[in-house]
């Protein structure tokens, strides 16, 4: 393989430092995760929801972030409904933690019956025509397992943030290698753009707050929100077609939806393009608010002169 296009996943290897005592708790969790994925699927879901409920009780700061986000985004809902969404989001996050084990270790033939994919034929037809494809992703509680399964049908190159824990990063990359996924650290933009010229499709999730220098403000549930404008930038640079891809957890598994290629995208208006990406994500979140990752400061970066939205009011 040409080292100029080698991904981080291609070079994964075990290092002696992973055995240092500071990582023993990580290995213990990974052992638990491996064991949990040997259980029947409904048991894993119940166990994950229990972990999420525990996280809800113990992580007061994260709970505050989620409660603030839901209150801001859904002011029309009653306090009881807002709190239900918060609790369900935590429960889904717990399930998502265990779903990583499915991605890393569970045989694909065991997973396949739990997935439905809408729009896959259009995706494959576009690639067969020779189109360069860039997919819009989003940060919900089942994003890893959903996007991993798409890669079973078409190789997928994903721009991602490297985990600070090297043991977790090693195991996750090795496990994800069972699928046709190339994970590209988000600082390696040139590599990601090069992969847009190659096989498969590329995916990035623009619903991230990377600070004022690398974001554009866009209206997300009527709140000025920092969004990554790279979807439009990358598509314009490479002449790529853009599609939205989302995964929703259902009672029996997962529903993946790949939407048709966006028309007249990218345009010559970066703000309008970013607003469109935001609107697409908002539409999915509005339909399934309990499945979005709310336990972080989604509205951390504010327009000049605007105070933080996460300051707790004195009682």
b/e map 72-92, b = 16+ CB within 10 Å: ebbeeeeeeebeebbbbbbbb
Neighbours of 314 (CB within 10 A): 4
- Positions in the chain short of pLDDT 50: 1-9, 314-315
Give residue 115's pLDDT. 95
Give residue 181's pLDDT. 86
Give residue 162's pLDDT. 83
Taking each helix axis from N to C terminus, what angle separates 79-105 and 41-58, rounded to the nearest 10 degrees? 130
- Please report the sign of the dihedral spanned by the C-alpha atoms of residue 175, residue 165, residue 229, residue 96: positive
Cα–Cα distance between 237 and 223 in angstroms, integer?
29
Give residue 31's pLDDT. 96
Cα–Cα distance between 32 and 171 in angstroms, integer?
14
DSSP letter for 16, please: G
- CATH code linked to domain 16-291: 3.40.1130
pTM: 0.92
Give residue 59's pLDDT. 97
Taking each helix axis from N to C terminus, what angle separates 143-153 and 120-128, rounded to the nearest 10 degrees? 50
φ, ψ at 201 (rounded to 5°): -130, 165
Q: In the chain, what are the domain boundaries?
A: 16-291
CA nearest neighbour of 51 among 102, 114, 99: 99
Give residue 72's pLDDT. 98
């Amino acid at each position: 393989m040409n080292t100029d296009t080698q991904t981080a996943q291609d070079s994964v290897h075990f290092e002696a430092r992973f055995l240092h005592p500071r990582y023993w708790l990580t290995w213990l969790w990974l052992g638990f995760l491996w064991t949990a994925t040997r259980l029947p699927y409904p048991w894993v879901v119940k166990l994950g929801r229990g972990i999420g409920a525990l996280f809800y009780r113990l992580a007061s700061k994260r709970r505050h972030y989620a409660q603030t986000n839901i209150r801001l985004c859904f002011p029309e809902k009653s306090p009881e409904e807002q709190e239900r969404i918060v609790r369900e989001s935590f429960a889904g996050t717990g399930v998502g933690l265990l779903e990583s084990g499915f991605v890393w270790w569970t045989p694909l033939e065991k997973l396949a019956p739990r997935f439905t994919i809408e729009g896959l034929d259009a995706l494959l037809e576009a690639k067969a025509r020779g189109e360069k494809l860039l997919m819009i992703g989003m940060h919900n509680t089942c994003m890893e397992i959903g996007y991993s399964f798409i890669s079973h049908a078409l190789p997928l190159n994903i721009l991602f943030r490297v985990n600070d824990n090297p043991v977790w990063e090693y195991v996750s990359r090795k496990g994800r290698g069972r699928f046709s996924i190339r994970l590209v650290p988000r600082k390696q933009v040139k590599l990601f753009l090069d992969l847009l010229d190659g096989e498969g499709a590329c995916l990035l999730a623009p619903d991230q707050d990377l600070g004022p220098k690398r974001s554009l403000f866009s209206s997300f549930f009527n709140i000025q929100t920092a969004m990554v404008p790279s979807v439009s930038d990358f598509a314009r640079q490479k002449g790529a077609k853009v599609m939205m891809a989302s995964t929703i957890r259902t009672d029996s598994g997962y529903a993946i939806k790949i939407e048709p290629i966006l028309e007249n995208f990218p345009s010559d208006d970066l703000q309008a393009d970013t607003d469109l990406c935001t609107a697409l994500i908002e539409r999915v979140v509005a339909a399934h608010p309990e499945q979005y990752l709310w336990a972080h400061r989604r509205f951390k970066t504010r327009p000049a002169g605007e105070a933080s939205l996460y300051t707790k009011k004195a009682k």
